[in-house]
C-alpha cells in the first residue's frame, strides 16, 4: 500500500552490479534497473524553490549506483533493502520504496524484480 503524502519518484535508474548466487552471475557486472519512490514533505521546497529543501535527485541516483556497484550481494532482496536503508539516512524521508530489476535472472523470463518498502518508524 502506498504511503500517504508527497512523493519523489525516480524510475529506471540504470546501474550495473554483481548480484547472484551462481558463479556465472558473479563473474562480471550485469545491468540492473532501480525504481525509487520517496515519501517526503515537499511543502518547504514548494515554498522556497530551493533544492536544499528537498532531496537532490542526482544524489539519490549516485547512492543507488554506488550501492549497486559496491555491494555484490547474492540476493536482489539484500540490495533492495540496502538501498532503501541508505536513502532513509536522509532524515527528511519518511519512507523509501525501492524496486530492483534484474533482467534475465531466470531463463525465459524477461525481468525479475524485488520491491521493498521501508518506513522511518520501522527502522
List the catalytic residues.
102
The predicted structure's pLDDT at residue 121 = 74
* Per-residue pLDDT band at 2 (split at 50, 70, 90): low
- Closest to 31 (Cα-Cα) out of 81, 63, 1, 76: 76
Pair 29, 16: CB distance under 8 Å = yes
Full-model pTM? 0.93
| Averaged pLDDT of the chain | 94
pLDDT(64) > 80: yes
The predicted structure's pLDDT at residue 123 = 44
pLDDT(122) > 90: no
Q: How many residues are recorded in the chain?
A: 123
**pLDDT tens-digit map of 17-43:** 999 999 999 999 999 999 999 999 999
Amino acid at each position: 500500500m502506498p504511503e500517504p503524502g508527497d512523493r519523489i519518484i525516480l524510475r529506471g535508474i540504470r546501474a550495473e552490479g554483481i548480484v547472484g548466487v551462481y558463479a556465472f552471475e558473479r563473474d562480471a557486472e550485469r545491468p540492473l534497473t532501480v525504481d525509487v519512490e520517496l515519501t517526503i514533505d515537499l511543502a518547504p521546497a514548494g515554498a522556497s524553490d530551493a533544492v536544499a529543501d528537498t532531496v537532490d535527485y542526482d544524489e539519490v541516483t549516485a547512492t543507488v549506483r554506488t550501492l549497486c556497484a559496491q555491494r555484490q550481494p547474492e540476493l536482489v532482496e539484500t540490495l533492495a533493502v540496502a538501498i532503501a536503508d541508505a536513502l532513509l539516512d536522509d532524515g527528511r524521508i519518511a519512507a523509501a520504496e525501492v524496486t530492483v530489476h534484474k533482467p534475465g535472472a531466470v531463463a525465459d523470463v524477461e525481468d525479475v524484480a524485488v520491491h521493498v518498502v521501508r518506513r522511518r518508524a520501522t527502522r
